Homo-oligomer: A and B are copies of this chain.
Amino acid sequence: MFRWKNVHGAVGASALAALLLSACGPQAGEGDQTDAALRPPGNGNGSGSVAELMAARNLSEDDVRAALATYTPSGGRDEYLIFASGGHSGQIIVIGVPSMRILKVIAVFTPEPWQGYGYGDETDALLASGARDGQPLGWADTHHPALSETAGDYDGQFLFIGDKANARVAVVNLKDFTTQQIVVNPLIQSDHGAAFVTPNTEYVIETSQYPAPLDGAFAPIEEYDEKYRGAVTFWKFDRAAGRIVPEGSFAIELPPYMQDLADAGKLASDGFVFINSFNTERAWGGVLEGNPPLESGASQNDMDYLHVIDWRKAEALVAAGKTETVAGMPLLRLTTAAAEGVLHFVPEPKSPHGVDVTPDGKDIVVGGKLDTHGTVYSIEKVKKLIADKNYAGTDPYGVPILPFEEAIRGQVEIGLGPLHTVFDDKGYAYTSVFLESVVAKWSLADLKVVQKLPSHYNVGHITAAEGDTVSPDGHYVVAMNKWALDRFNDVGPLLPQNFQLIDSSGDEMRLLYDLPIPIGEPHYAQMIKADKVTPIEIYTPVGTNALTHAVDPNAVTGGKEQIERREDGVHVHMTAVRSHFTPDIVRVKQGEKIHFHITNVEQAKDATHGFAVGSYNLNASIEPGEHVNMTMIATRPGVFPLYCTEFCSALHLEMAGYLLVEPK
């Protein structure tokens, strides 16, 4: 392989800087990179040769290579898009690779005024639909984004993400990068293994984390073993409608272990879902009450249980009416699941974290956060053990346990605290190793580590180009580090996270870039080839509602603007175009309800208009061709400016008017 080191090997240790300078510039023939005469003025930035810039900015040869591998010139496009969860920001972060620039923050569970998300009738209603038991929720703890798949490959159409704090799943349409739906899981109180999809996005998988009574009722913690349960929900996805539909969705009851991550089988393991678990000890803390804290109570057993679920069999049982309806959800009871061969356990080393199916679907890799191994299960062996009913026993809830040694293909000695694993196209796996702070590259064929690349602290998840598909691209890996200690300029006690882009195309991994993540803690991310995502540029036809993707019944066309009084209030039919609203003066009486119907009649890409009414908390972002509806009650009299909040034209500041509220 042709490599950097080889090219320059003949000149030994001489720095690239010196080499370039001495060879390439007539004026530099007698200089070296430390010669002041050859330095540009000031601190050396902005002009000068590679050598000078290296010297001025203290860049190594590796830095130069990394810079050139990531720098994307003005107007250049990124090759991949990362969709990363935004942690408890409740949003999704979109990042270009290799430039590592944040291109968008998709508003999902949290109001985002810049996007007008949560500030108009439709998005208000969308966020309200995410309330739990009448409790409005202004945030979420987004964990695992999942791109929709066709035949096990990302298809670039939809994106799903789970809310750990409130057990919800959202659907994002990648046609316009907007959230379309939020579903609340009535069975469970928190999730973690969400969202993951089956290979054709038949289902979106959401697995509980912290057990609780499945009917939402209270039960004393002392009745944990009897009344607390986990569950995995299979949300049916209707691709044509772009929505999760209750019809056909179902759940399977699980024991009160703490189910953790999940992954769907594919190819050789198609039809299965794998979920790992910790706390098979069924500890629940109670540290002030004389119990050990959960962190030690849940870490007693040497083995926990990998859950192996045959979802096609479950689907058939659901169709056959073998469910109970609990909290409104068809639920396959644990006893049924165990008896009917839907659910099997395989022991997995102490408190595992990640479970990841290999691209060919043949193996399932489990990381043990208190173990030093990656454990590789063979679906062929697992299937045979199931077929042969070759059990090592049953758990306290009657679930058959497959024998560990006979279910695995082997273990790879990785290091302290292996968590998550992703894959490339050359037969290698990449595992984040939390305690050791490295990314370990290892061979799937012979289960041997070939390289460890130091990462930053608290490396958690890891993602790879097309890494969760049946055909990973093998070019890039990103280590998602939770800490940024000492890595960037200080910005107060709350630090960003740190995404480290790694070039995984060659024999050896190379660190390319550290990206601070300034909003939320991204738990997981998926990376898709950018050309698979083909969003619309404007809304057509003019008057399209972004939630229905159809022309809004209240869409306004130029010339038809009016202010109309109806029984239900004042309807303002308004257009926005550079650089005015029509109408621009709205006169109402105190107490009147106002319905703003605003169409941005522009069809030029990027010609977004904002619409704000001061002091009334009214704010919209109206993309070209988009129509929005907003309702307010003019409770307070006065003179309230309204204006466009996007710098749309030279006369943008003049794109303004007044809401005049006359006192009663």
Contacts and interface: CB of A to CB of B under 8 A. Distances in A.
Contacts of A645: 87-88, 141, 164-165, 521
Interface stretch (A236-244, A379-387, A391-399, A507-515): A507-515
Interface stretch (A194-202, A330-338, A582-590): A582-590
A598 to B, nearest CB: 14
Contacts of A617: 135-139
B139 A113 contact: yes
Contacts of A258: 653
A69 B57 contact: yes
B660 A220 contact: yes
Contact of A638 (B93, B212, B582): B212
Interface stretch (A17-25, A316-324, A440-448): A17-25
Given A7-B28, A491-B177, A506-B47, A639 B218 contact: yes
29 contacts: A3-B47, A6-B27, A20-B24, A45-B503, A46-B503, A46-B505, A47-B503, A53-B68, A59-B73, A67-B71, A78-B489, A88-B610, A94-B518, A103-B488, A105-B519, A110-B111, A111-B138, A113-B138, A189-B615, A190-B641, A221-B585, A221-B639, A228-B639, A258-B653, A287-B584, A288-B563, A288-B582, A293-B580, A493-B535
Interface stretch (A262-270, A339-347, A405-413, A620-628): A620-628
The 3 closest A-B pairs by CB, nearest first: A46-B503, A67-B71, A113-B139
B165 A614 contact: yes
A619 interface: yes
A125 interface: no
Contacts of A521: 114, 645-647
Given A26-B10, A288-B563, A494-B621, A640 B485 contact: no
Interface stretch (A36-44, A144-152, A247-255, A306-314): A36-44
Chain A binding surface SS class: loop
Interface string A46-90: 111110111001111001111111110111111101000011111
Contact of A608 (B460, B488, B494, B624): B494
Given A3-B47, A503-B45, A583-B288, A612 B650 contact: no
Contacts of A639: 189, 212-213, 218-219, 221, 228
A530 B490 CA distance: 9
A133 to B, nearest CB: 6
A441 to B, nearest CB: 13
A213 to B, nearest CB: 6
Interface string A632-664: 000111111101011111110111111011110
A166 interface: yes
Given A218-B663, A650-B435, A492 B178 contact: yes
Contacts of A132: 615
A58 to B, nearest CB: 8
A636 to B, nearest CB: 6
Nearest to A8: B25
Contact of A487 (B64, B75, B219): B75
B585 A7 contact: no
Contacts of A516: 101-103
Nearest to A93: B518
The complex is assembled from copies of this chain, and their number is 2
Contact of A94 (B23, B285, B491, B651): B491
A584 to B, nearest CB: 4
A279 B654 contact: yes
Interface in A163-179: 164-167, 174-178
A305 to B, nearest CB: 16
Given A25-B7, A48-B2, A75-B487, A493 B539 contact: yes
A551 B167 CA distance: 35
| Residue in A139, A516, A624 whose Cβ sees the most chain B Cβ within 10 Å | A139
Contacts of A114: 86-89, 519-521
A594 interface: no
A3 B47 CA distance: 5
A490 B537 contact: yes
A599 to B, nearest CB: 14
A527 B66 CA distance: 27
A533 B3 CA distance: 42
A329 interface: no
A43 B79 CA distance: 11
A482 interface: yes
A45 B69 contact: yes
A486 B537 CA distance: 10
Contacts of A515: 101
A518 B103 contact: yes
Given A189-B638, A278-B653, A285 B68 contact: no
Given A78-B488, A294-B656, A490-B533, 9 more contacts: A16-B24, A96-B488, A103-B488, A212-B640, A287-B584, A295-B655, A435-B650, A458-B649, A519-B519
